[in-house]
Amino acid sequence: MNVFITGAGRGIGLGFVVHYLSHGHTVYACYRNDSDELAALAEKHNDLNIVQWDVTLPATEHFLQSLPAQIDIVINNAGIYGPRKDGQSLKKITAEAMHEVFDIDSVAPLRVVQTLHSRLRSPGGIIANISSKMGSSSDNSSGGTYAYRAAKAALIIISKSMAVDLAPEGITVITLHPGWVRTDMVDFTGLIDVSDSVEGMASVIENIEEYTPGDLVAYDGKVIPY
Ligand SMILES: NC(=O)c1ccc[n+]([C@@H]2O[C@H](COP(=O)([O-])OP(=O)(O)OC[C@H]3O[C@@H](n4cnc5c(N)ncnc54)[C@H](OP(=O)(O)O)[C@@H]3O)[C@@H](O)[C@H]2O)c1
């Protein structure tokens, strides 16, 4: 299979690269800033193609020419948290921060799918949008975190619309929550390692027929109400 992953230079995205390579797939790994780890993997694996794409920008013709005619799985993983500490409190959140987080966490996954739509295997293609349970309003008991919560909620809804729109083409869309994962995004706090999160989410993708398209599913397979 051809697997396309955004934000693949580090963290969970890099974990997906390692996972799909180790299972014998061909991986198209998108990075924004140069990643020594991704470059080192590409030296060792002929099945790894690394391509630069800041997902807030339209894809260039050169980028599109580097892609295969058919893509089986798209993983929209790239994301940012936005201002840290109390920077997303009611008092401190700014319109600029809201726009920046929305641009990367909500709008960019839509751009990625619009860009790749014609190459997605039909029927049989899968789109996995990496959101967060922080985008679930039923999970929100602590408030705050305006930009990240709202942008991940928007992604859940965008993902649901994609699921409905692409169903007639046999393309299945799912939204994933990686768990609280030890990456840079959470200052390497968190409850689980990247490999556990990725193994779990890859298993959800593998068993996607068990879920309703557009569901928000955690790395442990549990469906999260939103
Ligand atoms: N870690 C958690 O506990 C957790 C929980 C729930 C959801 N998530 C979600 O899981 C996904 C991965 O998070 P992570 O923990 O691996 O975060 P991370 O370690 O901070 O990595 C984020 C990745 O996104 C890329 N990225 C950011 N903006 C981009 C842009 N404009 N264009 C292309 N790539 C961009 C980064 O690239 P650069 O290296 O170039 O910055 C990096 O590869 C995110 O969507 C995040 O919201 C994470």
The residue type found at 52 is Q
Percent of the chain with pLDDT over 70: 100
Residue-wise pLDDT tens digits, 27-57: 999 999 999 999 999 999 999 999 999 999 9
Which atom of ligand 1 is least distant from the CA of 9?
43
Query: Mean pLDDT score of the chain, rounded to an integer?
Result: 98
- When pLDDT is averaged across residues 91-105 and rounded to a whole number, the result is 98
Ligand 1 midpoint to CA 113 (Å): 17
Residue length, the chain? 226
Say whether pLDDT at 85 is over 90.
no
For each of the domains in the chain, give its residue range(s) and CATH number, in order of start: 2-218 (3.40.50.720)
Mode of pairing for the β-strands spanning 2-5 and 73-76: parallel
> So what's the pLDDT on residue 30?
98
Distance CA 35, CA 16 (A): 15
Q: Which residue(s) pair with 3 in the sheet?
A: 27, 73
- Spacing, Cα 10 to ligand 1 middle (Å): 8
Are the CB atoms for 44 and 156 separated by under 8 Å?
Answer: no
Rounded Cα distance between 55 and 103, Å, is 9
Query: How much is the average pLDDT of 148-162?
Result: 98
Whether the predicted pLDDT of 203 surpasses 90: yes
151 and 102 in contact (C-beta within 8 Å)? yes
Band (133; pLDDT cuts 50, 70, 90): very high
For the CA of 11, the closest atom of ligand 1 is 16
Q: State which of 140, 184, 185 you would mutate to test the pocket of ligand 1, scoring each by most atoms of that ligand within 8 A of its C-beta.
A: 185
Cα–ligand 1 centroid distance for 32 (angstroms): 11
Ligand 1 center to residue 131 CA distance, Å?
10
Tell me the average pLDDT across 66-79: 98
Q: What are phi and psi of 216, to 5 degrees?
A: -95, 115
Cβ atoms 216, 224 nearer than 8 A:
yes
* Distance separating the N- and C-terminal Cα atoms of the chain: 31
Alpha helices in the chain, H assignment, sequence order: 11-22, 36-44, 61-65, 95-102, 108-116, 146-166, 194-206
Query: 0.95 cut: is pTM over it?
Result: yes
Contact 47, 39 (CB under 8 A): no
Residue list, ligand 1 pocket, CB within 6 Å: 6-7, 9-13, 32-33, 54-56, 77-80, 104, 130, 132, 178, 180-181, 183-186, 190
